[in-house]
Structure 1
Amino acid sequence: MTDLILLEDEPVLAQELGEFLEESGYRTQTVTTLAAFEQCFDTQRHHLAIIDLGLPDGDGLQLIRRLRQSGHRLGIVVLTARDTTPERIAGLGEGADHYLGKGCDLDELAAVLDSLKRRLDLDRDEQPWRLDVGPRRLLVPGAGPVRLSQQDLLVLQCLMQRAPENVSRQAIIEALGEDFLGYDQRRLDTQMRRLRRNIEAFSGHALPVKTLRNAGYCFYATAVINT
């Protein structure tokens, strides 16, 4: 899972972005000021940053300038209300990799981050998640095995055998042996929330499943299935 630091001083937006980023597969640390960013930023851990510009204690452009001058290998996305063409040019000139205006579609933000991950080759050394179908267990990298219910096994098998492709809600529901048209899809949402909680509770790791809003899910980590 890729570590990301989010610098955003609006509490509601910070919470919304933090939840979205966690669901999209990023271990996210949220800070609200330049000083907090400087204190919390870890060059060994944080590989991506989302930075607002208008902050209580200064301008995010100054931070971006310092980060680039220090030579950190860091993917930087500006997310700001300052969205005119001259401001975009200034942000990219200071070293931002991408410049987005607040109010952009969150799927666009996710696509930008995925692009940065590929360019920086952040998943190169990632250990695989292993699903043992017979014993009904998930082997989490760096942690012990997690026992699974039959339904959780079917969901994970459906997602992991197609990783890292997007899997539709219909495909998952049919993998559960249910009729898509007669199935209450809220049951799937509830199951996915419970599955995420169980994996994190027993392993200490977040399940690498991205939620595709109103469309389906994606297991984005390296996956191996043992039948």
Structure 2
Amino acid sequence: MIDVILLEDEPVLRSELGEFLEQVGYAPQCVASLAEWERHFDARRHRLAVIDIGLPDGSGLALIQRLRQGGQQVGIVVFSAHNTSADRVGGLVTGADHYLGKGCDLDELEAVLAALARRLGLQRREARWRLELGAGRLLPPGAPPVPLSPQDVRVLRCLMRAAGESVSRSQVVQALGGDVLDYDQRRLDTQMRRLRRNVHAASGQELPVRTLPGNGYCFYEAAAVAE
């Protein structure tokens, strides 16, 4: 996955954007202020950035100007509520590659980031996740094995055998041995949250499972399932 650093001070929007970026296959680093940016930005890793303009401790435009003056080649997308023609021109003149208003469709943000990644020659690293059924564990790429409960194994077997494809909630319920008509969908939501949390806690990596609204889930990285 390509690393993206997101600078957005509004907590709900920051969370939503971070989740969206993860769902479309990026590895987001979310920060809320210029001070947090200074602590977390790594030019060797963060080749794409999404930056808000109005921040609690300064200006996003000043940050962009500083990055460009320092010779940073990071691809920059401004994502701001300030979206007049003058705002957009000012952002682009300062050094942003693209300028999007916060009311835009997030699919446009995805398309802009993809175009920037192509222009900068960034390649998505193919992460090969391996599920070992017999051992009951998940092997994330470059991270320690994650022990799994029997329920976790059933869920991941269902998703990883169809990696890259949509898997309906009904299919996951059936994989868990439940009756689709009687199954409490809240149990599935709890199961998925717990699985994501356990994988992150054990490996430091986000589980590459995208939630498809009203449909189901997709394991979006390369995967292998071993008996």
TM bucket by the smaller chain? 0.7 to 0.9
Query: Structure 1 residues 111 and 214, CA, compared in 2 at 3 Å: closer, same or farther?
Result: farther
Q: Which runs of 5+ in 2 are unaligned?
A: none
| Aligned-residue offset at 1:38 | 3.9
C-alpha distance in 1 between matches for 2:78 and 2:132: 41
Map of 1:218 onto structure 2: 218
Q: Which amino acid counterpart does residue 122 of structure 2 have in structure 1? A: D
Map of 2:164 onto structure 1: 164
Deviations, residues 142-191 of structure 1 (Å, cap 9, x unaligned): 23322222321222122222323343323333433444343322111110
Kindly indicate whether the alpha-carbon contact (under 8 Å) linking 2:77 and 2:100 is maintained by their aligned counterparts in 1: yes
Between stretches 66-75 and 107-116, larger displacement belongs to 107-116
Between stretches 7-16 and 43-52, larger displacement belongs to 7-16
C-alpha distance in 2 between matches for 1:22 and 1:155: 20
Deviations, residues 5-46 of structure 1 (Å, cap 9, x unaligned): 22223344335544555666534231313x543454211232
Q: Which amino acid counterpart does residue 155 of structure 2 have in structure 1? A: V
Kindly indicate whether the alpha-carbon contact (under 8 Å) linking 1:21 and 1:28 is maintained by their aligned counterparts in 2: no
Kindly indicate whether the alpha-carbon contact (under 8 Å) linking 2:6 and 2:28 is maintained by their aligned counterparts in 1: no
Q: Which runs of 5+ in 1 are unaligned?
A: none
Map of 2:30 onto structure 1: 29
Q: Which amino acid counterpart does residue 191 of structure 2 have in structure 1? A: Q
| Aligned-residue offset at 1:52 | 0.6
C-alpha distance in 2 between matches for 1:175 and 1:116: 39
Give the paired residue count: 225
C-alpha distance in 1 between matches for 2:172 and 2:150: 14
Pair 1:190 & 2:190 matched: yes
Overall identity of the aligned pairs, in % = 60
C-alpha distance in 1 between matches for 2:155 and 2:175: 7
Q: What TM-score results when the alignment is normalised by the length of structure 1?
A: 0.78
Q: How does 1:76-225 map to 2 (within 5 A)?
A: 76-106=76-106, 109-110=109-110, 112-113=112-113, 116=116, 120-124=121-125, 126-225=126-225
RMSD after superposition: 3.1
**SS in structure 2 opposite 1:46?**
coil
Kindly indicate whether the alpha-carbon contact (under 8 Å) linking 2:159 and 2:167 is maintained by their aligned counterparts in 1: yes
Query: Structure 1 residues 215 and 59, CA, compared in 2 at 3 Å: closer, same or farther?
Result: same
C-alpha distance in 2 between matches for 1:173 and 1:117: 37
Q: What TM-score results when the alignment is normalised by the length of structure 2?
A: 0.78
